[in-house]
């Protein structure tokens, strides 16, 4: 039996019993032994982590990267350093104390054997200073034009594009380096369900599998997904979450507060088919009408009052993107069977050959959401089956346990207990307009074919009308669901309204309902923005202009890459 067959056999046993720690260690040890024996060529990896004011997330992400190296030993060690893996931290932070912490964290992991390069504001500005004034002006749609004294929170897309310039220099003419972008709130683990409940496991040798795929196929770009917390905005999860919260209250109301918790005997539903998305049907997924049950994760004997209080603690994490009832879990399949043509890039988990640096994140200065799906449509139109996806998800953690929320998220404002999502909501709506317009335009031959401004504008207007109709309908449904939830929660006959011990939990529920009403109710700022005729016209013109200029932007970008790599 050769090494691949042995690994496949151990892997098959592992996923029959993912709770077996000895079997997992045996699997990891087999890979470490293989690295000692195998002198076959290995790709080098540069992992890029864009980060903005998230030191705790960054610490966990780098810790996970080092743990992955230690668990599987990819490329082996030399002088205590993992020579085939390096990290580039692209820092877009505003707060000086976070910048300092990011630098310290980078230095710490470098000293621990994980080659780590810090790419902060000074380094980014120095990178841009290598461009002459005319070139910098030509690349403004890609790199922005932000003054040096405000060179922070530029947005993930602009930050990635600036990092592309740095990477272009780092790889030069190398054909043996893979560039791997991940998000700072992710880890190299997978979330699984075992007989003992949820577990996060270092059970995938990402570097080994990516190396094999890029050696054995002509793939240029590969994208994975995430497990754990959903990768989408709360602005497109409100309706289904309200369904689940109402279902939880309706079910727990049927039991006495002091009865033993009954939320442990429900089979966990996997939301990997985008069940967390209110408009999943627009993306080709079958729409799920039923509510998802809440799986209580409290260990040991406890009653319904305790379960209620724990659920209340999780409610407001929704505004940071957590979804307590619709998490996704890893489902194992032999990796080769999961490699399929792709159409969407998940920008928190994609790996590519250096030649694909020509595909900068488009329309970065518009700061719209859905940048990855938009880029994916362009790439698919140009390279077809060389753009693939595979079952190599990473663990996504939206919040930090110590503070119960994300450290920083653009487009979200907090003031005491009030959460304002309108900025993110607006970027989501027009990001959807951009995405579905791009899907139609690429079907017409874009970007290779030259389309008139009238064709582009007509498509964007048509899609905007459709999206406004979808969002308006969803708004009406959310209003009805909110009314029903509030009536159920406020019912004075329910035991949670009669318990002094649950006062704090009732306050948490009330804050949740108030924030849902503020962000998705009749007077919500986000809906007012997307219905404002003047604002829509302005955004529409920005989108049309950006799409029309993309080919010229690409030509200038590719010329700069060629000159800088020379």
pLDDT at 406: 55
Task: Write phi, then psi, for 385 (nearest 5 degrees).
Answer: -75, 0
Degrees, nearest 5: CA angle 496-398-161? 155
Cα–Cα distance for residue pair 407/498, rounded to 1 Å: 35
How confident is the model at residue 271, as a pLDDT?
Answer: 55
In whole angstroms, what separates CA 112 from the centre of its chain? 27
- Nearest residue to 92 (alpha-carbon basis) of 129, 141, 136, 146: 146
**Long-range Cβ contact pairs of 216-219 (< 8 A, separation 24 or more):** 217/339, 217/388, 218/386, 219/339, 219/386, 219/387, 219/388
**Model confidence pLDDT, tens digit, residues 78-111:** 888 998 999 999 999 999 999 999 999 999 999 9
Q: What is the largest CA-CA distance in the chain?
A: 75
Predicted local confidence at residue 392, as pLDDT: 97
In 3D space, the residue among 534, 352, 374, 508 whose CA is nearest the CA of residue 441 turns out to be 374
How many Å separate Cα 487 from the centre of its chain? 34
Rg, the chain, Cα only = 24
> Which string of DSSP letters, residue by residue, matches 151-193?
-S---HHHHHHHHHHHHHHHHTT-SSEEEEEE-TTEES-EEEE
State the SS3 of 393-413.
CEEECCCECCCCECCCCCCCE
Residue carrying the six token digits 């729409």? 287
Is 451 exposed, middle or buried, given 0-12, 13-18 or 19+ CB atoms closer than 10 A? Answer: middle
DSSP per-residue codes, 321-342: T--TT--B------GGGG-EE-
Q: Quick one: CA torsion of 161, 165, 171, 173, rounded to 10 degrees?
A: 110
Q: For 225-264, give the DSSP string.
A: -EEES-SS-GGGTHHHHHHHHHHHHHHHTTS-TTSBP-TT
Taking Cα atoms as reference points, which of 190, 185, 183, 219 lies closest to residue 206?
190
Dihedral angle computed from the Cα positions of residues 121, 124, 128 and 130, in that order, rounded to the nearest 10 degrees = 120
Q: What are phi and psi of 541, to 5 degrees?
A: -65, -40
Task: Tell me which H or E stretch contains 118.
Answer: strand 115-119
Q: Are 206 and 349 in contact (CB under 8 A)?
A: no
Asked if residues 346 and 226 have their Cβ atoms less than 8 Å apart, the reply is yes
- Packed helices 238-252 and 453-490: angle between N→C axes, nearest 10 degrees: 20
The confidence score (pLDDT) of residue 409 equals 59
Which residues pair with residue 51 across a beta bridge? 91
Please list, in sequence order, all residues whose beta carbon lies within 8 angstroms of the beta carbon of residue 473, skipping any fewer than 6 positions away: none
Instruction: Look up the pTM and report it.
Output: 0.92
What sign results for the dihedral spanned by CA atoms 184, 189, 191, 197?
negative
Rounded CA gap, 56 and 45, in Å?
24
- Reduced to 3 states, what is the DSSP secondary structure of residue 301? coil
* pLDDT per 10-residue tile (average), the chain, 566 residues: 72 87 92 82 94 95 97 90 95 96 97 96 96 95 94 95 96 86 96 82 96 95 93 90 96 95 72 73 74 89 95 92 88 92 95 96 95 96 96 88 55 69 94 96 94 95 96 94 96 94 96 95 93 96 96 96 79
Q: Report the candidate in 325, 323, 330, 276 with the shortest Cα–Cα distance to residue 296.
A: 325
Angle 442-448-450 (CA atoms, 0-180°, nearest 5)?
A: 90
DSSP 196: T
Token digits of residue 508: 């948490």
Residue 345's DSSP bridge partners are none
For 230, the token pair is: 């959903």
Neighbour-count burial for 128-153, b at 16+ CB within 10 Å, e otherwise: beebeeeeeebbebbbbebeeeebbb
Q: How far apart are CA 327 and CA 318, in angstroms?
A: 12
Q: What is the pLDDT of residue 514?
A: 95
Q: What is the pLDDT of residue 253?
A: 96
As a whole number of angstroms, the distance between CA 140 and CA 121 comes to: 18
């Amino acid at each position: 039996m050769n090494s691949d067959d042995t690994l496949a056999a151990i892997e098959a046993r592992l996923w029959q019993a993912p709770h077996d720690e000895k079997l997992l260690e045996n699997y990891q040890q087999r890979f470490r032994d293989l690295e000692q024996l195998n002198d076959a060529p290995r790709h080098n990896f540069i992992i890029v982590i864009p980060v903005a004011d998230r030191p705790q997330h960054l610490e966990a992400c780098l810790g996970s990267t080092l743990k992955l190296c230690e668990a599987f030993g990819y490329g082996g060690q030399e002088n205590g350093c993992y020579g085939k893996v390096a990290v580039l931290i692209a820092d877009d932070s505003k707060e000086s104390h976070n910048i300092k912490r990011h630098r310290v964290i980078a230095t710490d992991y470098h000293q621990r054997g994980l080659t780590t390069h810090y790419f902060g504001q000074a380094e980014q500005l120095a990178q841009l200073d290598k461009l002459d004034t005319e070139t910098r002006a030509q690349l403004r749609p890609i790199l922005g034009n932000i003054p040096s004294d405000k060179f922070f929170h530029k947005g993930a897309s602009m930050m990635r594009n600036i990092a592309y310039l740095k990477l272009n220099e780092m790889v030069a003419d190398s054909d043996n380096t893979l560039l791997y972008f991940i998000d700072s709130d992710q880890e190299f683990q997978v979330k699984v369900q075992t007989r003992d409940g949820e577990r996060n496991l270092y059970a995938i040798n990402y570097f080994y599998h990516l190396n094999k795929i890029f050696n054995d196929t002509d793939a240029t770009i590969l994208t994975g997904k995430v497990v754990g917390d959903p990768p989408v905005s709360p602005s497109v999860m409100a309706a289904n979450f309200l369904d689940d919260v109402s279902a939880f209250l309706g079910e727990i109301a049927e039991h006495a507060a002091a009865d033993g918790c009954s939320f442990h005997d429900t089979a966990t539903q996997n939301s990997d088919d985008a069940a967390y998305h209110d408009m999943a049907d627009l993306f080709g997924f079958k729409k799920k009408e039923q509510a998802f049950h809440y799986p209580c994760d409290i260990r040991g004997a406890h009653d319904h009052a305790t379960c209620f209080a724990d659920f209340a603690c999780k409610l407001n994490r929704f505004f940071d993107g957590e979804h307590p009832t619709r998490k996704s879990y890893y489902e194992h399949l032999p990796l080769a069977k999961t490699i399929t043509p792709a159409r969407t890039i998940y920008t928190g988990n994609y790996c590519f050959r250096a030649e694909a640096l020509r595909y900068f994140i488009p329309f970065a200065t518009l700061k719209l959401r859905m940048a990855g799906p938009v880029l994916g449509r362009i790439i698919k139109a140009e390279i077809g089956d060389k753009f693939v996806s595979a079952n190599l998800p990473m663990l996504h953690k939206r919040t930090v346990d110590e503070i119960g929320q994300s450290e920083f998220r653009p487009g979200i404002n907090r003031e005491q207990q009030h959460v304002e999502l309108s900025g993110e909501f607006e970027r989501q709506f027009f990001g959807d307009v951009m995405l579905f317009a791009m899907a139609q335009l690429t079907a017409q031959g874009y970007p290779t074919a030259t389309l008139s401004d009238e064709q582009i504008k007509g498509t964007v207007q048509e899609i905007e009308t459709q999206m406004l109709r979808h969002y308006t309908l969803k708004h009406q449904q959310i209003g009805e669901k909110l009314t029903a939830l509030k009536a159920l929660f406020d019912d004075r006959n329910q035991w949670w309204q009669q318990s002094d011990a649950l006062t704090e939990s009732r306050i948490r529920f009330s804050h949740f309902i108030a924030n849902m009403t503020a962000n998705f109710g009749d007077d919500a700022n986000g809906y007012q923005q997307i219905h404002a005729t003047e604002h829509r016209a302005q955004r529409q013109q920005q989108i049309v202009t950006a799409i029309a200029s993309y080919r010229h932007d690409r030509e200038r970008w590719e010329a700069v890459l060629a000159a800088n790599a020379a």
